[in-house]
Amino acid sequence: MSIDLLEETALAMVAAGKGIIAIDESNSTIKKRFDAVGIECTEENRRAYRELLLATPNLSDHISGAILFDETLRQSTRDGVPFTKLMLDNGILPGIKVDRGPQPLAGFPGEVVTEGLDGLRDRLAEYARLGARFAKWRAVINIGEDYPTSTGIDANSHALARYAALCQEAGIVPMVEPEVIMDGSHDIDTCFDVTEATLRSLFDAMYKHNVMLEGSILKASMVLSGKDCEDQAGVDEVAEATLRCLKSTVPASLPGIVFLSGGQSDRAATEHLNAMNVIGGNPWPLSFSYGRAMQSAALQLWSQDIHGNVAAAQKIVAQRARENGLAALGRWTADLAG
């Protein structure tokens, strides 16, 4: 893919009123989700569930792309249509998760670094042949009493930058995701400081690795109070703090930012995104790349009758996509909530 096509793809990912649906759970992660609602985690059930999501009528009205797991990228609909063809025919860009998860960072208790760079060049070449237009790599930044350290942050930024450079070499748009985890009793100010340090480190590393920002997307976590913090920041405070942090760290040349839901409720993730877009005045589009916040209600309904509840579950997916698409424009209101 040429430089122009990388830019074109990145811009399409953050088109006005559209976002990304994340259905890239590993088999072990989706097993936990299925177990929680009483579904057997067979390959066929995983395939059927992903088809339910990707075949939702008019999904592309508010969804520009979907992040897939390796297994899903290779699967087809019940009628034998490859998922990548189904997506592209309906105006949805196929994406692929390429990292292999976080592992403890030796010498730094409480911190982790994401692995998966070994063999990544060859894997990306195969994914490009299979139809992937963009990829995702998630770094995990934990907050504790003595961490994160600058070493832990820089180790993850270095991996993200190397991944991004390899993606662009393969003609794939890199989505870089440095997730600052909500777990903990830290306040919103601590989250702000950690997020700011992480993003500064990330873009410094991307610059050093000659990553073209115009052909990249940031998947960011919002600046939030820790889950166990007694003083939970309100919607407006979260929106203002997140925007202040992003404006001080993210280059304006980036085509766009999509947010992860990161353990927030469906409603909170939508409210926060909407509040940021109501404030406006940003150099980049702010959209969404939600997983659980897009799927949880639909999965719960589908689990009650996996053959009979497909259409009803798809209506929920479409509704969640519409709500978040409106939030990406700053046009969501509480009376629109499903």
| pLDDT of the residue at 253 | 97
- The model's pLDDT over 175-231, given as tens digits with 9 standing for 90+, comes to 999 999 999 999 999 999 999 999 999 999 999 999 999 999 999 999 999 999 999
Q: What is the largest CA-CA distance in the chain?
A: 53
Neighbours of 145 (CB within 10 A): 8
Contact present, 254 and 213 (Cβ < 8 Å): yes
Q: Once rounded to an integer, what is the mean pLDDT over residues 43-55?
A: 96
Contact present, 266 and 272 (Cβ < 8 Å): no
Q: In the predicted model, is pLDDT for residue 173 greater than 90?
A: yes
Q: In the predicted model, is pLDDT for residue 292 greater than 90?
A: no
Buried b (16+ CB within 10 A) or exposed e, 78-88: eeeebbbebbe
| pLDDT of the residue at 294 | 82
Task: Give me the residue label for tokens 């990161």.
Answer: 262
Average pLDDT in the chain: 96
| pLDDT of the residue at 338 | 59
Nearest partner of 102 among 141, 60, 68, 58, judged by Cα: 141
| pLDDT of the residue at 289 | 96
CATH class of 3-328: alpha beta
Asked if the peptide bond before residue 148 counts as cis, ω within 30 degrees of 0, the response is yes
Per the document, the length of the chain is: 338
Q: Once rounded to an integer, what is the mean pLDDT over residues 148-167?
A: 98
Contact present, 128 and 3 (Cβ < 8 Å): no
Terminal C-alpha separation, the chain:
40
In which band, very low, low, confident or very high, does the pLDDT at 334 lie, cut at 50, 70 and 90? confident
Q: In the predicted model, is pLDDT for residue 99 greater than 70?
A: yes
- Among 30-44, 79-93, 323-337, the minimum mean pLDDT is found in 323-337
Q: In the predicted model, is pLDDT for residue 81 greater than 60?
A: yes
Question: Residue 267: CA atoms inside 13 Å, Cβ hemisphere, count?
Answer: 7
Q: In the predicted model, is pLDDT for residue 138 greater than 60?
A: yes
Contact present, 119 and 87 (Cβ < 8 Å): no
Nearest partner of 285 among 314, 255, 309, judged by Cα: 255
| pLDDT of the residue at 225 | 97
In which band, very low, low, confident or very high, does the pLDDT at 250 lie, cut at 50, 70 and 90? very high
**Distance (Å, rounded) from C-alpha 97 to C-alpha 69?**
6
Q: Once rounded to an integer, what is the mean pLDDT over residues 313-327?
A: 96
Active site residues: 177, 219
Write down the domain spans for the chain.
3-328
Which sign does the torsion angle of CA 27, 272, 244, 20 carry? positive
| pLDDT of the residue at 319 | 95
| pLDDT of the residue at 1 | 57
